[in-house]
């Protein structure tokens, strides 16, 4: 899964299926630690700011996958980024062909 798709999934879970959500901007990408070995990665995200009824900020994190039952450590975080997502309600109408 790429970062834009993950931001879309996070925003979909926040808004539900009665709206259409698109990426308006990638606000920042911060590389915190270089990837120095081949390993499994854990992608996670959350809504960090929602402005009224039309946009939200989604923050994503890419980290080395922790061992089962353990939490991600700060030293394992490789990258963080923020996406601005906007949405509008979908109007379902009959098509006239």
Assess if residue 28 is contained within a domain. yes
- Domain span including residue 83: 3-66+76-89
Question: What CATH number does the domain containing 25 carry?
Answer: 3.10.129.10
Assess if residue 81 is contained within a domain. yes
Tally of structural domains, the chain: 1
Assess if residue 42 is contained within a domain. yes
pTM above 0.75, yes or no: yes
- Residue-wise pLDDT for 53-95, tens only, equals 789 999 999 999 999 999 999 999 999 999 999 987 665 555 5
Assess if residue 21 is contained within a domain. yes
- Residue-wise pLDDT for 19-59, tens only, equals 888 999 998 899 999 898 999 999 999 999 987 778 999 99
DSSP letters of the chain? --HHHHHHHHHHHHH-TTEEEEEEEEEEEEE-S---S---EEEEEEEEEEETTTEEEEEEEEEEPPPTT-PPPGGGEEEEEEEEEEEEEPPP-----
Assess if residue 96 is contained within a domain. no
């Amino acid at each position: 899964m790429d970062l834009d798709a993950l931001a879309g999934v996070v925003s979909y879970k926040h808004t539900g299926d009665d709206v259409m959500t698109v990426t308006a901007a990638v606000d920042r990408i911060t590389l915190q630690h270089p990837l120095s070995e081949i390993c499994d990665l854990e992608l996670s995200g959350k809504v960090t700011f929602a402005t009224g009824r039309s946009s939200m900020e989604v923050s994503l994190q890419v980290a080395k996958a922790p061992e089962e039952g353990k939490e991600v450590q700060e030293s394992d975080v490789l990258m963080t980024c923020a996406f601005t997502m906007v949405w509008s309600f979908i109007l379902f109408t009959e098509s006239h062909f």
